[in-house]
Amino acid sequence: MSVKIRLARRGRKKLALYDVVVADARSPRDGRFIEKLGTYNPNTNPATIALDDEKAFKWLLNGAQPTDTVRAMLSYRGVLMRKHLHGGVVKGALTQEQADAKFEEWKNQKTAQITGKVDQLTKQKADAAKARFDAESKKREARAEAIRVKNTPPAAAEAPATEGAGTEA
């Protein structure tokens, strides 16, 4: 029996959410599964991945094959990196402590990268809101000026013109 780690769709039309599941390769996409590993929400930026890394690692060691999308998610979360380091420990290329140190270093770099992206998106959102506010303020000031000119009495507007003409003569 071939076992896959794949996505099972749920959610409403045009707002999909996915469960990351371990299932027999012959079962339908949204059908029967062996175990649920977590959820995936592609609608947020960056995408939200809530995954039990320990269970996913266990299933990978037992031979479960991830689909392309799930493979990318496992790589993003570091599960594939951990499996790679585990292979090195099993072959004797490095010790468990060295593997743990490499994995922690990688995880810290990845966390910093994700935090940087979230901060950048937040800053872009704030800059866009400020630009919209400034544009709206300019429009409001222009509108207020137009109303002020329109509501100025015509006599007051003509008076300086006639006074200026009388002083020149």
Q: What are the pLDDT digits (tens) for 88-137?
A: 989 988 898 999 999 999 999 999 998 998 899 999 999 999 999 999 99
Q: Residues 1, 60: one domain?
A: yes
The CA distance from 10 to 70, in Å, is 16
The pLDDT score that the predictor gives to residue 45 is: 82
* Chain position carrying tokens 């709206």: 136
In a domain, 138, yes or no: yes
The pLDDT score that the predictor gives to residue 16 is: 92
pLDDT in tens, 1-54: 689 999 999 989 999 999 999 999 998 888 889 999 999 999 988 889 999 999
In a domain, 133, yes or no: yes
In a domain, 87, yes or no: no
Q: Residues 100, 59: one domain?
A: no
Instruction: Give the total number of structural domains in the chain.
Output: 2
Task: Give me the helices (H) in the chain, please.
Answer: 53-61, 68-77, 79-91, 96-151, 154-168
Q: State the CATH number of the domain containing residue 17.
A: 3.30.1320.10
The pLDDT score that the predictor gives to residue 74 is: 93
**What token pair was written down for 22?**
């371990």
Please, which residues bridge with residue 38 across strands?
Answer: 20, 51
> Residue 157 above 60 pLDDT?
no
Choosing from 16, 50, 67, the residue where a domain stops is: 67
In a domain, 42, yes or no: yes
The pLDDT score that the predictor gives to residue 155 is: 66
The pLDDT score that the predictor gives to residue 131 is: 93
Place 167 in a pLDDT band, splitting at 50, 70 and 90: low
| pTM above threshold 0.75 | no
In a domain, 89, yes or no: no
The CA distance from 126 to 146, in Å, is 30
The CA distance from 137 to 108, in Å, is 43
Find the domain containing 115 and state its range. 95-153
Q: Residues 61, 104: one domain?
A: no
